[in-house]
Chain A
Amino acid sequence: MVILKKVAIIGVGSSKFGVRNDVNLAELAFEAVKPSLEDAQISPAGIEFVALASVGAGVWHEELLPAVIAAEYCGLTKAGLMRCEAACASGSAAFATAYWAIASGQAEVTMALGVEKMREVDSQIAMEWIGRAGYYFWEFHNFGLTFPAYYALYANAHMARFGTTEEDLALVAVKNHKYASMNPIAHLQNKITVENVLSSPVVASPLKLFDCCPLTDGASSVILASEEKVKELGIDTPVWVAGLGCSSGTANLSKRPDYVGLDASVLASQKAYKMAEISPSQVDVAEVHDCFTIAEILAYEDIGLCGKGEGARLIREGQTEIGGKIPVNVDGGLKAKGHPIGTTGCSMIYELTKQLREEAAEKSRQVPLKNYIALAHNVGGVGQYCYVTVLKR
């Protein structure tokens, strides 16, 4: 068995999320890279390898090689460089790649960088591109599925099987908007009510506009280092990567065994828990993939925060708020902080690192820590990819 080297997060940075037509791709990346380097107190020349995630290259933004553009602009040229693709989990794939580079002994200091510009095209074109990101040939070409529609198939099946209601889904949006209103970098900072969600226009039944995450621009950067380098740099509060699991699901939704959960989430989380040698009940704070409200409820069940079919009860009882059993998405989540597709995985790690260091910029958003363990769950597509990361201070 291969012995992996210990790896810590030593610096994080994030841009403001939102409609960022005031900056281009490279300038947006800079807004995340600069604070992450300052946080780690290192220079760009100290980064040996950069894994970048940017799903919309040549699609919703026009740069086909975003890694080289961001690296040049941020003084990272000459570092080893690649772009990682795992759909909406690309940021986590970049993080995993940056982690593996150190864990394997190949590098001492690496960077995972997510940067996404989604608002350079109009929203209908963006819906088209994202809808095509399943199995274009068999499930989009003739049938025109959108991303909300993919998750809506699961929502209707979950409601029919477990009695989950549209009000339950709305509660997820209400919670995540509440936390986004306390997060200055979030895209949607307005508080909403269940009634606001239920009365918003239907996008793909039963999902309505306020069940859906926005199309967001944003960048997040994470710097990782080996245990030796952590000592050498004198890092005060390293956040260790304790577990990492990844898995995948079929491209065709017609090949799935059921529509009430994502197998890739189940498998990826089990691998991550096993590596970290923890159980779900030991997690103090979690970021889960809530691109749509139903996705957060599926995640609760798939990663074992509750039993199968109990997700709606968890949100009804307020167990995923600060003060509850397991606070989830206290930065506003994809739903309200925003979902710049390639950035999201790095943005989750950014938030959890701040939480584990007890540095949440707004004290009201700081989760009380018992075990100093946090978990990020990042899905690509509708469970076509899944990455789960466990962090420990």
Chain B
Amino acid sequence: MVDVPSIKTREIKTVKNMPINKTLKFWEGLIAGKVYGTRCTNCGQLHFPPVADCGKCFSSEIEWVELDTEAEIEAFTHVVIRPASFCGCEPYTVAIGRLKEGVKVLAWITGFEPAQIKIGMKTKLIAKVTPEGNPTYAFTPLI
């Protein structure tokens, strides 16, 4: 990387604490096997990812709704060259799927051979906890 004279910077490690206080129900839902969005009780807008405040009508009155699990794939890519913090993973496939309610979800798609994944295919959205203990969600085969 460095082929000419240089001095190394001082090293620091930073890890931030990202608040999930207002979306706690979502993260708890994933552990319970459910994927929630939020609906604004004032204007009816359904939000995914879930929000505590409605950017459409500016109400903060929201309700949690469990989302339909059938997703139609609109875009995907097999990520071969991974970022530094994902280098412990095998190459993975990321997809964007549209749910019946109209909202879209971006997540990994698992359980398929790469060649099987096509735009327009139907998949199932599931909630899960990774082996490392992170709550997450993924697209999987319908059956």
Contacts and interface: CB of A to CB of B under 8 A. Distances in A.
Q: Do A and B come from one complex?
A: yes
Interface of A: 19, 21-22, 62, 119-122, 124-125, 127-128, 131-132, 137-139, 141-146, 148-149, 152-157, 160, 201-207, 252-256, 258-259
Contacts of A148: 81
Given A124-B83, A205-B78, A254 B94 contact: no
Given A127-B81, A256-B104, A259-B74, 13 more contacts: A127-B84, A138-B106, A143-B106, A145-B79, A146-B79, A146-B82, A146-B83, A149-B77, A153-B75, A157-B75, A202-B80, A254-B103, A259-B96
Nearest to B77: A152
B9 A62 contact: yes
A205 B84 contact: no
Given A22-B4, A138-B106, A254-B106, A153 B85 contact: no
Interface in B78-101: 78-87, 89, 92, 94, 96
> Interface centre among B1, B9, B94, B108, by most A CB within 10 Å?
B94
Given A144-B86, A156-B75, A252 B81 contact: no
Closest 6 A-B residue pairs measured CB to CB? Answer: A152-B77, A144-B86, A128-B83, A153-B75, A160-B119, A128-B84
A12 B117 CA distance: 48
A154 B78 CA distance: 13
Interface in B52-83: 74-83
A149 B79 contact: yes
Contacts of A146: 79, 81-83
A265 B9 CA distance: 38
B136 interface: yes
A202 B49 CA distance: 30
A204 B78 CA distance: 5
Contacts of B94: 143-145, 149, 153
Contacts of A121: 1
Contacts of B80: 201-205
A134 B140 CA distance: 25
A156 B114 CA distance: 13
> Interface centre among B6, B82, B105, by most A CB within 10 Å?
B82
B42 interface: no
Contacts of B136: 142
A143 B92 CA distance: 9
A202 B82 CA distance: 11
> Interface centre among B48, B81, B87, by most A CB within 10 Å?
B81
B2 interface: yes
14 contacts: A19-B3, A62-B9, A128-B83, A131-B83, A142-B136, A143-B94, A144-B92, A146-B82, A152-B77, A203-B80, A253-B106, A254-B96, A254-B106, A259-B74
Contacts of B76: 153, 156
Nearest to B96: A254
B106 A139 contact: yes
A204 B114 CA distance: 12
B75 A259 contact: yes
B126 interface: no
A205 B77 CA distance: 5
Contacts of A122: 1
B96 A253 contact: yes
Given A122-B1, A138-B106, A254-B48, A156 B77 contact: yes
